[in-house]
Amino acid sequence: METSRFGAYTRRLGSALSLLAPLGILVATSPSTAAAPTGPDVSSWQHGDGRLIDWFSVKRAGHNFAMVKATEGLNYINPYFVPDSLLMRAAGLARGTYHYARPNLPPEPQAALYAAVVLGQNGPLDLPPVLDLENSGGLNPAGLIDWTHRYLNTVQALTGRVPIVYTYPNFWRTAMADTTEFTRYPLWIADYRGNAQPEVPGGWNTWTFWQTTDSGSIPGIAGRTDLNVYSGAQGDLARYANMVGLTGSG
């Protein structure tokens, strides 16, 4: 498991800014031509030996967005969150951020930690906040459902955007008793079985993001990474990520 390294912020931020300085830009302007927007999701695991991700290579490989882990539980902040956020924005990738839920701990302070760390969720290139729910924390379904409502309500109040729920079909069917209480939230589903479409639990009538594999390979990212596709369920990705009006976006 990753551990908190608050002091790493300064070192990682300095490295990212040194890469940005000679570029003289904050947003790349080359629009993607991919029919179905795709992108990785990353955490500290994709930073072996402390190396930074080359987000410009990720963009040149045809990807349109990326999800980056921000926080976990009550005290973990991804030490690479700041440089990843800066560099993926510089490369012109829409940025999603997620909190890994620890339901054995109270939800409201977890939501507050996440909201304080993510550098805003309403600017250009920002996708809505994401709750990564794949651990019950020992709660029974009724308790976990209540925990999830409380977390999502708090994050929406703090960020002003309707959150996305990330989960697995089997986890939702069992730990969440396949509840249909969350269909107002967009679904990011992880299903690696190679089907033409993922399994959609919980009464959702569609998926918004689909994590198709946890062992993909992308130029610019060392080692294996998760790969995702956007369905268009929330409309054009540019609008969903507040990209409309940016030079080169439409």
How many residues can be counted in the chain? 250
Tell me the C-alpha distance between 26 and 63, whole Å: 18
What residues act catalytically?
41, 132, 134
Sign for the pseudo-dihedral over CA of 29, 32, 37, 38: negative
**DSSP-derived 3-state class of residue 215:** strand
Q: How many CA atoms lie within 13 A of 92 on its CB side?
A: 23
Q: 143 near 176, Cβ under 8 Å?
A: no
Amino acid letter for position 241: A
Tell me the C-alpha distance between 20 and 227, whole Å: 26
